[in-house]
Structure 1
Amino acid sequence: MTAGLCGHSHPVIQDTIISTVRQRGLNLGATTAIESEFAQEICRRFSSIERLRFCNSGTEANLYAISVARQATGLSKIIVFSGGYHGGILKFLHGVSANNVDKENWIIGKYNDVEGTRNLIYENKGKAAAVLVEGMQGAGGCIPGSPEFLHTIQTTAKENGLIFILDEVMTSRLGQGGLQSKVLSPIDRMALRPDVTTLGKYIAGGMTIGAFGGRTDLLSVYDPRPSSILGNCEKPIQTISHSGTFNNNTLAMSVGLATLSTVYTAQVCTDLNAMGDKFRQSLIEISRGTRMTVTGVGAVCNIHFVSQKPSGEIRCVEGLEDMQTEADVILKDLFWFHAIERGFWIARRSMLALVMGTTELELEGFLEFVKEFMQEFKFMLKL
Structure 2
Amino acid sequence: MEPRFSFFEANSTNGSGKPSVTLTQLRRLLDDAIKDYERNHPRSLSIHKDALRFLPGGNTRSVLHTDPFPICMDRGEGNRLVDVDGREYLDLIGEMTAGLCGHSHPIIQETIISTVTKKGLNLGATTAIESQFAQEICDRFPSIEHLRFCNSGTEANLYAISVARQATGLSKVIVFSGGYHGGVLTFFHGVSANTIDKEDWIIGKYNDVEGTRKLICDNKGKVAAVLVEGMQGAGGCIPGCPEFLHTVQTTANENGMVFILDEVMTSRLDHGGLQSRVLSPEDHTSLKPDITTLGKYIAGGMTIGAFGGRKDLLAVYDPRPVSMPGKTQRLVSPISHSGTFNNNTLAMSVGLTTLSTIYTLQVCTKLNAMGDKFRQSLLEICRDTRMAVTGVGAVCNIHFVSQRLSEDIRCVEDLEEMQTEFDAILKDLFWFHAIRRGFWIARRGMLALILGTTESELEEFLEFAKEFLQEFQSLMRL
- Whether these two folds match at TM > 0.5 is yes
Deviation at 1:312, TM superposition (A): 1.4
Instruction: Give the structure 1 partner of residue 257 of structure 2.
Output: 162
> Which whole-Å deviations, capped at 9, do the CAs of 1:285-311 have from their partners, x for residues lacking one?
000110001000000000000000222
Instruction: Give the structure 2 partner of residue 349 of structure 1.
Output: 444
Asked whether the 8 Å contact 1:69–1:130 carries over to 2, the reply is yes
Instruction: Give the structure 2 partner of residue 338 of structure 1.
Output: 433
Instruction: Give the structure 1 partner of residue 231 of structure 2.
Output: 136
- For the pair 1:98 / 2:162, whether they are aligned, the reply is no
Summarize the Cα distance change of 1:152–1:261 in structure 2 as closer, same or farther, 3 Å threshold. same
Instruction: Give the structure 2 partner of residue 280 of structure 1.
Output: 375
Q: Distance in 2 between matches of 1:35 and 1:307?
A: 50
Instruction: Give the structure 2 partner of residue 108 of structure 1.
Output: 203
Instruction: Give the structure 2 partner of residue 209 of structure 1.
Output: 304
- For the pair 1:196 / 2:291, whether they are aligned, the reply is yes
Judge which range, 109-118 or 22-31, deviates more.
22-31
Q: Matched residue of 1:275: which SS? A: helix
Deviation at 1:379, TM superposition (A): 1.4
- For the pair 1:67 / 2:200, whether they are aligned, the reply is no
Q: Matched residue of 1:207: which SS? A: coil
Deviation at 1:237, TM superposition (A): 7.1
- For the pair 1:46 / 2:141, whether they are aligned, the reply is yes
Question: Any runs of at least 4 consecutive aligned residues in structure 1 with deviations exceeding 4 A, and if so which?
Answer: 233-238
Q: Matched residue of 1:248: which SS? A: coil
- For the pair 1:80 / 2:175, whether they are aligned, the reply is yes
Deviation at 1:375, TM superposition (A): 0.7
Deviation at 1:243, TM superposition (A): 1.0
Asked whether the 8 Å contact 1:227–1:234 carries over to 2, the reply is no
- Aligned partner of 1:192: which letter? L
- Aligned partner of 2:418: which letter? M
Q: Distance in 2 between matches of 1:37 and 1:372?
A: 49
Q: Distance in 2 between matches of 1:320 and 1:172?
A: 25
Instruction: Give the structure 2 partner of residue 254 of structure 1.
Output: 349
Asked whether the 8 Å contact 2:152–2:305 carries over to 1, the reply is yes
Q: Matched residue of 1:304: which SS? A: strand
Asked whether the 8 Å contact 2:237–2:396 carries over to 1, the reply is yes
- Aligned partner of 2:403: which letter? Q
Deviation at 1:93, TM superposition (A): 1.6
Identity %: 81
Q: Distance in 2 between matches of 1:228 and 1:325?
A: 61
Asked whether the 8 Å contact 1:221–1:237 carries over to 2, the reply is no
> Which whole-Å deviations, capped at 9, do the CAs of 1:344-367 have from their partners, x for residues lacking one?
110000000000000010000000
Alignment root-mean-square deviation, CA: 1.4
**TM-score of the superposed pair, with normalisation by structure 1:** 0.97
Q: Distance in 1 between matches of 2:220 and 2:366?
A: 42
Q: Distance in 1 between matches of 2:167 and 2:330?
A: 12
Summarize the Cα distance change of 1:236–1:175 in structure 2 as closer, same or farther, 3 Å threshold. farther
In terms of Rg, which structure is larger? Answer: 2
Asked whether the 8 Å contact 1:71–1:237 carries over to 2, the reply is no
**TM-score of the superposed pair, with normalisation by structure 2:** 0.78
Pairwise mapping of residues 179-190 of structure 1 onto structure 2 (< 5 A)?
A: 179-190=274-285
Query: Which sections of structure 2, spanning at least 5 residues, go unmatched?
Result: 1-95
Q: Distance in 2 between matches of 1:180 and 1:314?
A: 20
Q: Distance in 1 between matches of 2:316 and 2:104?
A: 38
Summarize the Cα distance change of 1:237–1:193 in structure 2 as closer, same or farther, 3 Å threshold. farther
> Which whole-Å deviations, capped at 9, do the CAs of 1:251-272 have from their partners, x for residues lacking one?
0000000000000001100000
Q: Distance in 2 between matches of 1:58 and 1:157?
A: 22
